[in-house]
Amino acid sequence: MNQIFICNSEEVLEGGKGVRFPLLAGIDPSTGFVVRYDGEAHAYLNRCAHVPVELDWAPGEFFEGSGLYIMCSTHGAIYVPSTGHCTGGPCRGGRLRKIKISEIDGKIFWEADDYLHAPPEVPEAKISP
């Protein structure tokens, strides 16, 4: 399977700063992000379900003060980190677009799909599960 390297697992701490990575959403340059919550890494397209703006307050700052929810910096929408489901704010009931990831040998990788692709400058690596 083709996987694209994001970062080393140790860079994504529980409830801490997330790691952004470049991707193409359709043909548009965009970013994804990975955060750790409840011991697992979760990745999403960095785009609010309410209005398509990036979520982070500053690069990698996705969690609100308690570290329990992802929060949109523009309109305050609150998302459950493990599912991307919006539980509060203007897009209640919506959800973030999940990105399939894997943690293998201390590294985090993402997998392209029918909409999200690696930009041409980002190499893909063949990884055996």
* CATH level 3 topology of 2-126: Rieske Iron-sulfur Protein (2.102.10)
pLDDT in tens, 7-65: 999 999 998 999 999 999 999 999 999 999 999 999 999 999 988 899 998 999 999 98
Q: How many CA atoms lie within 13 A of 64 on its CB side?
A: 16
Please tell me the pTM assigned to this model: 0.91
Q: In this structure, which amino acid lies at residue 18?
A: G
Domain edges within the chain: 2-126
Q: What SS3 class is residue 10?
A: helix
